[in-house]
Amino acid sequence: MNAKIAPVIHEWTYDAMCHDLLEMDGNKYIYEVSKGDSEPEKKEALLEDQDPLWIELRHTHIADASERLYEKMNTFVSKNKAAQLHSRDGGEISTTDLQRIVQALPQYGEQVDKLTLHIDIAGKINRCIREYGLRDLGQLEQDLVFGDAGAKEVINMLRSKQNLSEENKLRLLIIYAIVCPDKFEGDKGDKLMQLAKLPSDDMKAINSLRYLVSSDAKKDARAGGFSLKFDAQKELVEKLSKGELPLNEYPALSESSSTSQGTAEGASVPKPAQNPQPMSRRSRRTPQWAKGRNSDDSQSSDSSVLRHASGDFKRLGNRIFVFMIGGATRSELRVAHKLTMKLKREIVLGSSSIDNPPQFISKLKALGPS
């Protein structure tokens, strides 16, 4: 059930919101920077592991990420008298204020640039949330998958929320079709599509996903709820790390792997070395691979109050590679990153694709006729 809903439900972490609501090219984000009276300058930024702020914020709720960013900005200004002189009197500090601070304090240029970048990103995400009515929509999505809402709430949403985009209405109906497949039998689905004022072509996406969902999906959803924690996948990787996978289900590819712990009871991977070599600091520039890193979540020092997350890589054990056939989501990337910190081993997640919601819906439409 999770695998069917995760690609279309709105996830509220900073990373997921970036790739859902903003124009991203892989990990590349394009934004504009004001230059006094001249035309705004376009800049590109990579949201990747070399950015300590990205490492700190990517898996936090967007509200928490926004709060942390403004705390960092205010802390930086309060600790630098020169910065106070170049900020506005009273009120919140703007990105324009930060740009003036960069000019006045060039030694902090890189840090303030990163802070300005993420404040710009968080601001755009929060504007999208307000403009698209995502708070109410997100609540209804969660209520549906937990069995706390049904046809009445879906119909009320489609009738009352005129600012819902076609994509968001379709995503809502896809979730509804997964949780309550009987509501789309016969001409019921067509009537809902008409109420939502969606083109008939969009019904292809709903029908394609319905064929992938078992007939007792509603029972499973109401009984077991819904989670983006992917506990089954986490358990599988943790057992692999401990060498506890049963060989009859997960046969080893070599004899040395199956006997590395002295028995043939479980498939295993080599244990972390006592003094492993440091990990390479290579750049991940495509969305197909996720390489989790440890981050320092302690408070920043006075000399670098903007550095809340550490860019230093810990010494980790042998990597574990996980490949997901058919596609993965930002939620599964998050799980891989968190497992890296928990197991002290780099979990490298690969997949045939890592899709944002529009890409996933396009693939559903291409699966077959309505």
pLDDT digits (tens, 9 = 90+) for 18-75: 999 998 988 999 887 776 677 888 889 999 989 999 999 999 999 999 999 989 888 8
CB neighbour list of residue 271: distance below 8 Å, 6 or more residues apart: 243, 260, 317, 318
In this predicted model, what pLDDT tens digit does every residue of 145-174 receive, in sequence order? 999 999 999 999 999 998 899 999 999 999
Cβ atoms of 239 and 208 within 8 Å: the answer is no
Residue 87 confidence (pLDDT): 55
Block means of pLDDT (10 residues each) for the chain, 370 residues, are: 82 96 92 74 90 95 95 81 55 62 65 88 95 96 93 95 92 94 88 93 88 57 57 89 90 61 45 42 32 35 34 64 90 92 92 91 80
Residue 276 confidence (pLDDT): 42
Q: Is residue 106 part of a domain?
A: no
Residue 305 confidence (pLDDT): 33
Q: Is residue 297 part of a domain?
A: yes
Q: Is residue 17 part of a domain?
A: no
Whole-angstrom Cα distance, residue 288 to residue 353?
6
Name residue, tokens 């944002």: 356
CB neighbour list of residue 71: distance below 8 Å, 6 or more residues apart: none
Residue 7 confidence (pLDDT): 92
Whole-angstrom Cα distance, residue 205 to residue 100?
49
Total domain count, the chain:
1
Q: Is residue 19 part of a domain?
A: no
Cβ atoms of 338 and 292 within 8 Å: the answer is yes
In this structure, the strands spanning 345-351 and 317-324 are parallel
Name residue, tokens 């109401």: 222
Q: Is residue 61 part of a domain?
A: no
Residue 112 confidence (pLDDT): 80
Domain that holds residue 324: 231-357
Q: Is residue 238 part of a domain?
A: yes
Residue 312 confidence (pLDDT): 39
What residues pair up with 230 in beta bridges, in sequence order? Answer: none
Residue 297 confidence (pLDDT): 38
Q: Is residue 369 part of a domain?
A: no
Q: Is residue 347 part of a domain?
A: yes
Residue 281 confidence (pLDDT): 34
